[in-house]
Chain A
Amino acid sequence: MSDVPFTLDGEPMRAAADQTIAAALMERGIMSWRTTRFDERPRGILCGIGVCYDCLITLNGQPNVRACITRVESGDDVRRQDGVGR
């Protein structure tokens, strides 16, 4: 199966073709990739369909990208996000 290279906080990883960022991370057992802005509580997938904005992640320098509806592209620089991500 062809797969797509990307990095999470600089660590090389591979996703399946057309896989979302959230799916790629969860397949590797990574269930949380963000902390909330007030109490720094862990967050990952909640709704999984782009509605709840809980699965936010920083993608190629842009914060607050929804990991659940964003496909991994080759070479993506994915970063865990704390708070508002800016």
Chain B
Amino acid sequence: MRPDVVIIGAGIVGACCAWSCARAGLAVTVIDRGPVAGGTTGAGEGNILVSDKEPGPELDLALLSRAAWAALGDEIGGPCELDAKGGLVVAARQETLDHLISFAESQRAHGVIAEHVAAADLSQHEPHISPDLAGGVYYPQDMQVQPMLAAAHLLDAARRQYGARVMTNVEVLGIDRDAEGSVTGVRTSQGVIDTRYVVNAAGTWGGEIAALAGVHVPILPRRGFILVTEPLPPLIRHKVYAADYVANVASDSAGLETSAVVEGTHSGTVLIGASRERVGFDRTLDWKVVQRLAAQAIEVFPVLADVSLLRTYGGFRPYCPDHLPVIGPDPRAPGLLHACGHEGAGVGLAAATGDLIAQSITGAPSSLDLSAFSPARFEAAHV
């Protein structure tokens, strides 16, 4: 059967696109050269955050996506550890806290719920938190999800409920376009699939897929590692991170940046992030990163000093030079849509991205102005 839309990428963004498109009545085929959630998604933590977004298009998208995730949690039908646990951002020094509080004030004007937490009250939110912090801000809208489970259950639900097709270990070799430039099909390692619409949800490798269609989308890899502790009794209630994480996310530095991001999981392990560095596609584990992440986590939660690490994992966060994702139709290649470049926020932004892509294809009114995310913004720089 000829699908209406071929989605390239079986990570969380591709899975959300598949779910939203299938639910909108489109015949969907998902293709991935590896397994489900085997690339960008499987290297992430499962953040659904509004707290780390400054006012602007990405915050609007994050708020929309947070609401979409809350609804998805009821629809997926399988366990994906979706948890509206809230986020607690903490500052070690008064100067950082002052900056955090004014940042939170600016977010509040755009629909973010943010509550200042005095130093003396931090332990009411997190009993094991360091007594040496200057204070923090609590963000009850922040959520967490297990991204591999979510991707798998979403794809499974799209398949069972709407007949979507999921093809793993199938590589895309080319994207065919007609004389007018419109997409006509996808060439794969298992033959040609005719289709009018192709969604590029290839995460860190989104630039390569765009190139197959003859268009330039500058997606670059930013390496990040996460530490995994031994399973522990419940110690950490929220997603807790240091205020300098926000500055690191927005930074353009190529060097190593680390800031403590600590959270418990349903299985009992504690995840410790987050590092960012631009080293291309080099996956080599750097022990300096492990040491820094561990030390920073212990500064926030001294109880972790007596805990063993089981392992680390890492991968690449796909980012664009302007740190905004690429979402929507590509005017240079009619029928091609992009849903990639979400950097470290892809899991959180996936639910709304899926809805917006489905709206673009079906012609339904868009829930959000996509102009800031448009692939057309790259045209001038690269004709």
Q: In the complex, which residues of chain B have a beta carbon less than 8 angstroms from the beta carbon of A64?
A: 230-231, 308
Closest to B308 in A: A64
Interface size class of B (residues with CB under 8 A): under 10
B 301-344 binary contact with A (CB < 8 Å = 1; else 0): 00000001010000000000000000000000000000000000
A53 touches B310 (CB 8 A): yes
- B139 to chain A minimum Cβ distance, whole angstroms, is 29
Please, how many residues of chain A have a CB less than 8 angstroms from a CB on the other chain?
A: 6
Closest to B235 in A: A86
CB of A84 closer than 8 Å to a CB of B: yes
Which of A47-66 touch B at CB < 8 Å? Answer: 53, 63-64
Bound together, the chains give a CA A64 to CA B268 distance in angstroms of 13
CB of A41 closer than 8 Å to a CB of B: no
Q: In the complex, which residues of chain B have a beta carbon less than 8 angstroms from the beta carbon of A37?
A: 231, 268
Q: In the complex, which residues of chain A have a beta carbon less than 8 angstroms from the beta carbon of B310?
A: 53
- B357 to chain A minimum Cβ distance, whole angstroms, is 37
Q: In the complex, which residues of chain B have a beta carbon less than 8 angstroms from the beta carbon of A84?
A: 230-233, 268
Q: In the complex, which residues of chain A have a beta carbon less than 8 angstroms from the beta carbon of B268?
A: 37, 84
- B304 to chain A minimum Cβ distance, whole angstroms, is 13
B 245-269 binary contact with A (CB < 8 Å = 1; else 0): 0000000000000000000000010
Give me 8 other A-B pairs in contact (C-beta within 8 A), A37-B231, A84-B231, A84-B232 excluded: A53-B230, A53-B310, A64-B231, A64-B308, A84-B230, A84-B233, A86-B232, A86-B233
Residues of B within 8 A of A (CB): 230-233, 268, 308, 310
Q: 13 A–B contact pairs at CB < 8 A? A: A37-B231, A37-B268, A53-B230, A63-B230, A64-B230, A64-B231, A84-B230, A84-B231, A84-B232, A84-B233, A84-B268, A86-B232, A86-B233
